[in-house]
Each structure stands twice: as structure tokens, then as C-alpha cells.
A and B are shown apart, each in its own frame.
Chain A
Amino acid sequence: MDDDAIPVVGLHRGIPLEDQQSPERLALVRSEIDHVLGVTDAVALADWADDPVHSPESRQLAVAMAESMWTVAAETRNNRPPIDMERLRASTAGLGSQRWRCPRTHASLLDHGSVERERPLDDAE
């Protein structure tokens, strides 16, 4: 069984940080994670996850939080947040996967318009 998950260099508030990032980039990722953790609106989380400009870690966290909000609302019989979970999963597909990791940007191969890496990954095919 091959491990397709991107290696982790550490955790920030329980969120894994992907490897091959500069300290400056990691600082930006941490600040974005802090921002996402403070968001309580599911629509804002969905918008954040849909935007490839943001870091993959914070986008994955935003998707997971939006899905948790959806689940909690369903369990407590409250109104579900007005977000499309299928579209949200589709827009973040490939994130966290070594195979679908983009060697030139901080995103997956399926994303467009994301932030360029300072140095392309060595194992770029």
C-alpha cells in the first residue's frame, strides 16, 4: 500500500504542515490556518477553500470545518449551511496528495491561479 500523503514537517494547532516550504511560507501558512480557525461562517469557509491563492493546508482545513458544520447542523436538526459540499470537495480535490501535488505552485495540479513556488520541487516529473 503506497502512501500518497504529502510528508508533514510539523503541526500548527493540530493542522499538518506540508514539507518543502520555506520558513517564510510556513509562517504565512500558519497565519492562514489561524484565520480559518477563527471563521465561523460556512459560506466564508467555502469561499476560502475555493480560492487556489490560499495555502493547501488552510483550504483543506476550511473544507473540513465546513463539512463539520454541515454534519453538526444535520445532527442537531438545524438549517444546513447554504454551501454545495460536492462542489467544495471537487474544488479541493488533489490537495494533500503527493501524486497530484503541483511542482511549481502551492496547490494541486487541478488548481489554476495559485501562488508560484520559490523553487520548483525536485521530484517534478
Chain B
Amino acid sequence: MARGGHARLEREARDTLHAWHAQIFRARWRKKFLLAMMLRHEMKGLSMADEPAVTPRKTRRRASRLDRAGATRRALVGVDIAALDPVAVLREIMGDRSQPGSTRVAAARALLQLPEGPDARTVAEDTITERAIKLMAAARKAH
């Protein structure tokens, strides 16, 4: 075993009970068995429970996750929401092959459900009128 190995072992176990083991090991390596027995006798009075389970290391601080509002703010930096065209966004999602299939299908369905033409305000009224005309036609057939 190389000497550097002992030095590293001592260095890593400096503040733990492993330091005793290192000294005992080094004494045995140098064939100083009496010293090794003395060290082992002294070590018996110490408790492993008082020592940390692992070698203490520097704690690495975990990067904090952004919440939803923060992520939204961060994603919309430099984006003018008023200038966004919802239909164009849906078409872009539908045509984006990198998106999941379910996302593209959802965008396509949303596009299919859009009213045709610019006069979307009267869609409900047109539905009422169309239904009424169909009802009248059905009533005429029933006569």
C-alpha cells in the first residue's frame, strides 16, 4: 500500500473515529504492535453514536424551483400578449412535429370548433335561428 494512501486516509478521517483506526493501522504497518494495542485500548471508551455516519462534506445548496407565476413571468419576458393571435398560436402548435401528439390533436380540435367567418358574435343567435327553421320544417313534415 502506498504511503499516500495512509495520508489520504488520515486526512479524510481526521475528525472521526476513523482517525483512531488510521493510527492503529499505521502502527501495525510500522510493526509497532504495542502502540497499536494502546491505541485500541484507548479507542474502546469512545462511542460511534457520537460521530456522524458519513464524512462531513460541504452541503450543496439546491437550486430553488420557480413557482407557476414566476415561470410564466419568465417565459413571457419580451412577449406582447396583446399582439398574439390565438388562431396562429393554435396552428403553430398543430404543425409543430416536436410537440406530443395529444397536444397537436387538442390544437386541431380547438381550431375545428372555431366559428367560421369574422362574425362570431352572432353564432349563438344563428344557432337559435337555424334550429328554429329546422323545427318548423319538421313540423311541416309532421302535418
Contact = CB atoms under 8 A, between A and B. Distances in A.
Interface of A: 3-5, 14-16, 37, 40, 60-61, 64-65, 67-69, 71-72, 96-98
B131 A71 contact: yes
Given A60-B136, A97-B143, 5 more contacts: A64-B135, A65-B128, A65-B129, A68-B129, A68-B131
A33 to B, nearest CB: 11
A72 B143 contact: no
B136 A4 contact: no
B38 interface: no
Given A37-B129, A40-B125, A68 B135 contact: yes
Contacts, number: 45
Nearest to B127: A72
Interface string B118-139: 0000001101110111011001
A4 B140 CA distance: 8
Nearest to A11: B133
A98 B135 CA distance: 18
Contact of A61 (B125, B136, B141): B136
Nearest to A61: B132
Nearest to B125: A40
B128 A98 contact: no
A31 B124 CA distance: 22
Contacts of B128: 65, 68-69, 72
Contacts of A64: 131-133, 135-136, 139
